[in-house]
Each structure stands twice: as C-alpha cells, then as structure tokens.
C-alpha cells in the first residue's frame, strides 16, 4: 500500500515538473471555463497577459505553416491586446483551418536571460486548449538552423527542447474557454539564456478542420524584470 502511494505521488510530481538534464522546467496550466472566462484573462497563479514584456520587442516570424486569413497576423501575439470575447478571430492568431499547426519563431535580437514564457488562448470550443513544444536556442551551434521546417527535428540543428505543453483534458467537450500557461524554472532562476524561441504548434484535435488554437498573446518575461 505504501509503495502504491509513493508511486502515485511520484507520477503526479512528474506530471507537474519535467526534469531535463540541465534544468527543472515547471509548467503551470490554468483554465477558465466558458462560464467564468472574462476579457481580463485573470488566473489564480498564472500572471495576466502583459503589454511591456520582452516579447513586445521580439521579431516574430512564421517558420512553417499557413495562417488563417480570418485571424490576426503575427503581431497579435505580442501587441498586448486581448480579445474581448470568447470567439474573436481578429484578436487571435491561428493556423489555417484543415492544416496541422505550424512553427513560430521569436527573435530577441541578442541573447536574453528568460525567466518565464506565458501563453494565452481563448475559444469556446476545441480551439481553446494549447498543444505545442517550446524550443530555444542562443544561435551559437555551428549547425544552427534558424528556420527548421516541420520535417526537421530542431534538436538536430541547434535547438534545445524546453517542454511540451498540452492543456487538453480527457473530456474534449469541456475544453472550451480560456487558458493561461506559465513556463518557468521550477528550481528558481531562469529558463536559460537564449536569443530565439520556437513554438512548434499542433492541432488539438483532427475530428474536423478546426483544431488550431486561438492564440491571444505570448509573453516572454526577461530575468530580473
Ligand atoms: Ca505581451
Ligand atoms: Ca494579443
């Protein structure tokens, strides 16, 4: 019995904190249901979206994939503006209907010590949850590829995997609403010193053409800020 409890506790801890060779990455996910989500993007412990964060000064590029023309352009991710309601395409970035996600790169222009990466989304249905891998690079690797297309493993060309984010529940019908995700170093300190972040975004479902997440804002908090 004792062993079972210890195993269960260990499994739970692994869900919350992913350990990699050099650091402990903590991913906090919060969900405001359709009934409780508001334009304030208020969460219990995930900070609300910021306007004057390091992402505001980043150059954002579409590395792979196709954006949906009904949605906003790349600037929606760092403009500090938020949708006022649950289904507001013009205030969200999302990949085209029927496509399988894509890759977005943030370039800070120089190596920056990053404390937190916070991502926000809002949609009444299956485009609410977030599923992506976050990669980072300082660009110094001799094999560094600044634009790895979807068929290239970023690990093979100078990128380091920070974490996988998947906010879906086991009940997709309940997954509509607003999500806040905060990625930080669980042991304190920073995520590391990087010039680039790469978001490898996936669809939340493939039952229909509308599984690409409505991303409202991506904040990057520099260390010491
Ligand atoms: Ca921001
Ligand atoms: Ca925005």
Can you list the domains of the chain with their CATH numbers?
A: 7-222 (2.60.120.260)
The 10s digit of each residue's pLDDT in 170-185 is 888 889 999 999 999 9
Ligand nearest to the CA of 54: 1
Average pLDDT for residues 188-205, to the nearest whole number? 97
Whole-angstrom distance, CA of residue 147 vs CA of residue 133: 15
Ligand nearest to the CA of 218: 1
Ligand nearest to the CA of 92: 2
Average pLDDT for residues 39-66, to the nearest whole number? 98
Q: Measured between alpha carbons, how far is residue 118 from residues 5, 43, 98, 174, 221 in Å?
A: 33, 12, 26, 22, 8
Return the beta strands (E) in the chain as ranges: 17-19, 24-32, 59-64, 102-123, 131-137, 160-166, 177-185, 192-201, 215-222
Ligand nearest to the CA of 121: 2
The 10s digit of each residue's pLDDT in 3-33 is 444 444 444 444 455 544 456 999 999 999 9
Ligand 2 midpoint to CA 28 (Å): 20
Ligand 1 midpoint to CA 67 (Å): 20
The 10s digit of each residue's pLDDT in 149-158 is 999 999 999 9
Using a 10 angstrom Cβ sphere, with 0-12 exposed, 13-18 middle and 19 or more buried, the burial of residue 56 is middle
Average pLDDT for residues 141-147, to the nearest whole number? 98
Ligand 2 midpoint to CA 127 (Å): 16
Ligand 1 midpoint to CA 5 (Å): 41
Ligand 1 midpoint to CA 78 (Å): 5
Average pLDDT for residues 200-210, to the nearest whole number? 96
- Please identify every residue whose CB atom is under 5 Å from ligand 1, which is an ion: 50, 53, 80, 219
Ligand nearest to the CA of 106: 1
Band of the pLDDT at 225, cuts 50, 70, 90?
Answer: confident
Q: Check residue 172 and give its pLDDT.
A: 82
Question: Which helix (H) or strand (E) is 7 found in, with range?
Answer: helix 2-16
Whole-angstrom distance, CA of residue 166 vs CA of residue 180: 12
Band of the pLDDT at 136, cuts 50, 70, 90?
Answer: very high
- Kindly state the percentage of the chain with pLDDT values over 90: 86
Ligand nearest to the CA of 216: 2
Ligand nearest to the CA of 75: 2
Whether 222 shows a pLDDT value over 90: the answer reads: yes
Mean of all residue pLDDT scores within the chain: 92
Who contacts 222 (Cβ-Cβ below 8 Å, separation ≥6)?
53, 54, 112, 113, 114, 115
Cα-trace Rg, the chain: 17
The 10s digit of each residue's pLDDT in 59-93 is 999 999 999 999 999 999 999 999 999 999 999 99
């Amino acid at each position: 019995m004792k062993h079972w409890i210890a195993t269960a506790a260990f499994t739970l801890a692994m869900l919350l904190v992913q350990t990699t060779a050099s650091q402990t990455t903590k991913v906090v996910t919060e969900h405001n249901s359709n009934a409780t989500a508001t334009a304030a993007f208020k969460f219990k412990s995930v900070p609300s979206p910021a306007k004057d964060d390091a992402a505001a000064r980043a150059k954002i590029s579409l590395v792979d994939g196709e954006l949906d023309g009904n949605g906003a352009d790349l600037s929606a991710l760092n403009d500090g503006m938020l949708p006022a309601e649950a289904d507001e395409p013009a205030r969200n970035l999302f990949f085209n209907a029927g496509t399988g996600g894509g890759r977005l790169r943030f370039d800070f222009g120089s190596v920056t010590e990053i404390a937190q990466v916070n991502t926000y989304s809002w949609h009444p249905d299956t485009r609410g949850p977030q599923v992506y891998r976050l990669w980072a690079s300082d660009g110094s690797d001799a094999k560094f590829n600044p634009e790895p297309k979807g068929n290239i493993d970023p690990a093979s060309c100078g990128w380091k995997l920070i974490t996988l984010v998947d906010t879906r529940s086991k009940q997709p019908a309940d997954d509509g609403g607003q999500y806040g995700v905060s990625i930080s170093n669980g042991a304190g300190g920073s995520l590391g010193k990087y010039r680039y972040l790469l978001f490898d975004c996936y669809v939340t479902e493939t039952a229909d053409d509308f599984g690409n997440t409505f991303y409202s804002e991506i904040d990057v908090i520099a260390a010491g800020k």
